[in-house]
Amino acid sequence: MSLTRKRILVTGGAGFLGSHLCERLLRDGHDVLCVDNYFTGRKDNILHLMEHPHFEVMRHDVTWPLYVEVDEIFNLACPASPVHYQFDPVQTTKTSVIGAINMLGLAKRVGAKIMQASTSEVYGDPTVHPQTEEYRGNVNPLGPRACYDEGKRCAETLFFDYYRQHKTAIKVARIFNTYGPRMHPNDGRVVSNFIVQALRGEDITLYGDGMQTRAFCYVDDLIEGFIRLMATGPEVTGPINIGNPHEIPVRELAERVIALTGARSKIVHRPLPQDDPLQRCPDISMARSVLGWEPKVDLETGLTRATAYFRQLLADSGQIADR
Ligand code: NAD
Ligand code: UDP
């Protein structure tokens, strides 16, 4: 057994980001315990890891206590797409808040380091642009996104209370829009929606006038940020923004996806959902200086890889002709 092999728990490990993280941790020589209730995650995302001798999967809901022995915890369990987290908003808040309490309790008991997958949504519809970590945000606590935004904000509070009260070794990553292979094809997020619509030759659904902005990070870059953050000493707690600062209007994303796929899809407008942030872009100065990290994969390359994934997925399920 390797002397540097750690026992690492990934909650939400069968999801989009979780499955890439499990893969990376196994590649780095660790023992990985993937915990998931399969609400938005899929066994297909981790099927290729099942035979790995250092990979273990447990069906479990993080709103219930978990008793395992591990050295590190990445707490990713929580639906991330607005469509999914608004489907059962009470369960979303429970997952963020009770899930954080359970995982922090576990970290405290076994003395594990723990990283929280927090989100740019803690900034709400931001009045400071680009968003720095000091910005306290502009979240509507009563709207349809609040179950997610306030759940994640409360989870951050719990992380810092465990840090102050119990000296738990915490890390809080604020993740900005991330995309790539293994996003759920029906998960409703903009990159997967646009690519899947384009590949099926359907209309591209642009919400509002499409002038709202986002900055899209490719999944491999994000995972590298997670690994670097977890490797830091106890003085680094975050919160720390991890995302790609290349900001574009959502309309431009639609146009780029149409050009990239060669689709004949038309852009059709749908109403802008309530509380949809008008602009979002990370200030990653802290990630650059503390982690020596910045994204490497540009949008064209990332979209090309994501498109290849969705093309194969849709071809395998007979939804488009294989080309
Ligand atoms: P995802 O929906 O693909 O993954 C979430 C995983 O958590 C799924 O496998 C789901 O089944 C599991 N899960 C949900 N509730 C659970 C529960 N109660 N118990 C156990 N497992 C549960 O989403 P993702 O994009 O991989 O996001 C992972 C994490 O990163 C989430 O916490 C999300 O809030 C955060 N995040 C993601 C993004 C992004 O752009 N992808 C941005 C900001 C934050
Ligand atoms: N969006 C869109 N069409 C879609 C899905 C999303 O225009 O089919 C917009 C959405 O209104 C938002 C942006 O794309 O302005 C990003 O949405 P997503 O759900 O991916 O993530 P968010 O950043 O809003 O959490």
Q: pLDDT per position in the chain (323 positions), as tens? A: 456 899 999 999 999 999 999 999 999 999 999 999 999 999 999 999 999 999 999 999 999 999 999 999 999 999 999 999 999 999 999 999 999 999 999 999 999 999 999 999 999 999 999 999 999 999 999 999 999 999 999 999 999 999 999 999 999 999 999 999 999 999 899 999 999 999 999 999 999 999 999 999 999 999 999 999 999 999 999 999 999 999 999 999 999 999 999 999 999 999 999 999 999 999 999 999 999 999 999 999 999 999 999 999 999 988 876 65
Q: In this structure, which ligand is nearest to the CA of 144?
A: 2
pLDDT in the model for residue 187: 87
Q: From residue 317, how far is each of 185, 247, 265, 308, 314 by CA, in Å?
A: 12, 34, 21, 14, 5
Residue nearest to atom 24 of ligand 2 (CA): 276
Q: Using an 8 Å Cβ cutoff, are 32 and 26 in contact?
A: yes
CA–CA separation, 15 and 80 (whole Å): 10
Q: Which residues pair with 248 in a beta bridge?
A: 214
Q: Distance, CA 178 to ligand 1 centroid (Å)? A: 12
Mutate to test the pocket of ligand 2, among 189, 213, 217 (most ligand atoms within 8 A of CB): 189
Mutate to test the pocket of ligand 2, among 120, 250, 268, 272 (most ligand atoms within 8 A of CB): 250
CA–CA separation, 201 and 250 (whole Å): 19
Q: From residue 213, how far is each of 123, 175, 267 by CA, in Å?
A: 14, 16, 17
pLDDT in the model for residue 320: 76
Known catalytic residue at 218: no
Residue nearest to atom 22 of ligand 1 (CA): 77
Residue nearest to atom 10 of ligand 2 (CA): 207
